[in-house]
Structure 1
Amino acid sequence: MPSLSPATFRPAIRTLLSTCALSLSLGTLAHAELEINQATEAQLDSLLHVGPALSQKILSQRQQSPFADWPDLIRRVPGIGPRRARQLSHQGLTVQGQAYPGTPQPESDKP
């Protein structure tokens, strides 16, 4: 088995540590609560399954009036249906502080 020289070993360790740190921060961000009625464009864009076009639709509708609940969001924003709502809720998106009905909550949030 070949031995690793310090010159080879250090970059490998650095890459491993960076990957671990990124995984931990993404795991934390994935379940951080984000209220749709206060979220910024950048926060919305950071969610999986939300790109700039969908963020703009959300912000445009929110400017007319805040979202009352998940059915209101689904009705007013083309591109968000029950499946996408569940995906977004699983990432921590809420409407009036509520998760999408039936979305499992992260283990850390359970009593």
Structure 2
Amino acid sequence: MIRKMMVGVALVMASMGMAFAQVDVNKADAASLDGVKGLGPAKTKAILEERTKNGDFKDWADLQQRVKGIGDKAAMRLSSAGLVVNGKPMAGAPAAEMKGQPESKPAKK
């Protein structure tokens, strides 16, 4: 019984790692973009339409300039949620945190 529980826990942990896969804005379809926390159907549609009209996004600045509503704060959140442009996260964005893991807290003085 313990062996079954350990296998179950291992499977859950493995699936959690896959949930944070990177999604490249230049290669992703609508379903993949909608899976990024912070992107909904309207923003996904705007990204896909802009990409279709004017080609791939060169970098994060290009994405922000061409898609209305993606400013610095939104870009940081999207990058932290796993969105990348040409395989690169936004510079300075924190890495995506795994759900279920305790957040690190600053040490008390």
TM-score normalised over the length of structure 2: 0.70
CA distance in 2, matches of 1:95, 1:75: 13
Q: Which AA in structure 2 matches 1:39?
A: A
Matches for 1:19-98 after TM superposition, within 5 Å = 21=12, 25-26=15-16, 28-29=18-19, 31-63=20-52, 64-98=54-88
CA distance in 2, matches of 1:80, 1:106: 18
SS at match of 2:48: helix
CA distance in 1, matches of 2:28, 2:61: 18
Q: What is the aligned residue count?
A: 88
Q: Which runs of 4+ in 1 moved over 3 A?
A: 23-28
CA distance in 2, matches of 1:41, 1:107: 23
SS at match of 1:59: helix
State the 1:28 CA deviation: 3.3
Q: Which runs of 5+ in 1 are unaligned?
A: 1-16
Q: Alignment RMSD, CA only?
A: 2.5
TM-score normalised over the length of structure 1: 0.68
Contact 1:32/1:91 (<8 A) preserved: no
SS at match of 1:62: helix
Q: Which AA in structure 2 matches 1:51?
A: G
Q: Which AA in structure 2 matches 1:91?
A: A
Higher Rg of the two aligned structures: 1
SS at match of 1:56: helix
Q: Identity over the aligned pairs, expressed in percent? A: 39
State the 1:82 CA deviation: 0.9
Residue of structure 2 in register with 1:8 after alignment? none
Structure 1 residues 17-53: Cα deviation after superposition (integer angstroms, max 9, x where no partner)? 8xx94x8645531x31111100010011111111111
Summarize the Cα distance change of 1:26–1:81 in structure 2 as closer, same or farther, 3 Å threshold.
Answer: farther
